[in-house]
Amino acid sequence: MAGTMRAMVLHAPGQPLREEHLPIPEPGPEQVLLKVHACAVCRTDLHVVDGELTQPKLPLVPGHEIVATVVTPGERVRGLVPGTRVGVPWLGWSCGQCRFCRSERENLCDTARFTGYDLDGGFAEYTVADARFCFPLPSSYRDVEAAPLMCAGLIGFRSLRMAGEGPRLGLYGFGAAAHILIQVARHQGRKVYAFTRKGDVEGQAFARELGAVWAGGSEQLPPEPLDAAILFAPVGALVPAALRAVDKGGVVVCGGIHMSDIPAFPYLVLWEERVVRSVANLTRLDAVDFLALAPRVPVRTEVQRFPLASANEALRALREGRVRGAAVLDLTGTGESLHRERPA
């Protein structure tokens, strides 16, 4: 497909994205060319742009929570015809041959490539993606509503699986992922305790609106011990704080790809069979299972829409903690910067 497209491009970490006109990419034999309708803005994008994830391809089109329709499938692609609406997540390619791929742990693939990091992503009018990592989306979600499901939703869902089945769940950092995950956890009958930055009264009220039985600052202990805690805030000091909050045998799951250093802490807070573990990316099975579950809950995403040209504004709002729910770039031309929308 000849022609050019608008894209927001990162040329060096720490610099603002530049709006540019680039050639529309051509899909390879196992790829699809996609017309992007929406792309959520993730904290991982912030880590890339700010240089905390240190090895992106440059120049780079960020963005890995993509909602798009198939324009042109590659010659070896089957099952994705033009017009099919799909979501594209962070994990954009795996080799299929290493021991991790062969054991259904492709999220740990030795040579994995990631959308919006190793591969150009969705902060553009068009992108290409490996057909294996394009997932049909539930029709009940509009484009901007579906975009946060592709990372905030998927990573939260995998983190919840890693947290076990205990009924008392703590969520540290109440942003895009937590506002989705609390709905899934409540659907499963769990009690959710929300932890925010100290003094974040608005975030705590938001958590209570979504059904948290308690909300407070991350420096506080919950009113009862937790069975598990999931950390979405990239703050290493929250690991020992969460360990103190979980009961014997409790699990602390670090859900982010980047975190500041974890400070030293006494063995006593880990003792009694408490567990600390990380979550890396997602598998295709996670995507299939979560996208089937989300409309049954039903998960409702709250979004702030920004036009493509305002990607830097969206990143700044996320960096400053001014996003309620998820920030989404709306490429349909109908979104307005900072417009809040919550589906009925």
**What is the chain's mean pLDDT, rounded?**
94
Q: Is the pLDDT of residue 166 over 60?
A: yes
pLDDT at 342: 40
Helices (H), ranges, 31-124 = 43-49, 99-102
Instruction: Say whether pTM exceeds 0.85.
Output: yes
Contacts of 248 (CB under 8 A, 6+ apart): 272, 273, 274
pLDDT in tens, 188-237: 999 999 999 999 999 999 999 999 999 999 999 999 999 999 999 999 99
Q: Which of 138, 11, 27 is nearest to 76 (CA)?
A: 27
| CA atoms 231, 261, 152, 287: torsion sign | negative
Model confidence over 113-160: pLDDT tens digits?
Answer: 999 999 999 999 999 999 999 999 999 999 999 999 999 999 999 999
Burial class (CB in 10 A: 0-12, 13-18, 19+), 280: middle
- Residues with Cβ < 8 Å from 105, sequence gap 6 or more? 283
Instruction: For residues 67-81, give the mean pLDDT.
Output: 96
pLDDT tens-digit map of 274-333: 999 999 989 999 999 999 999 999 999 999 999 999 999 999 999 998 999 999 999 997
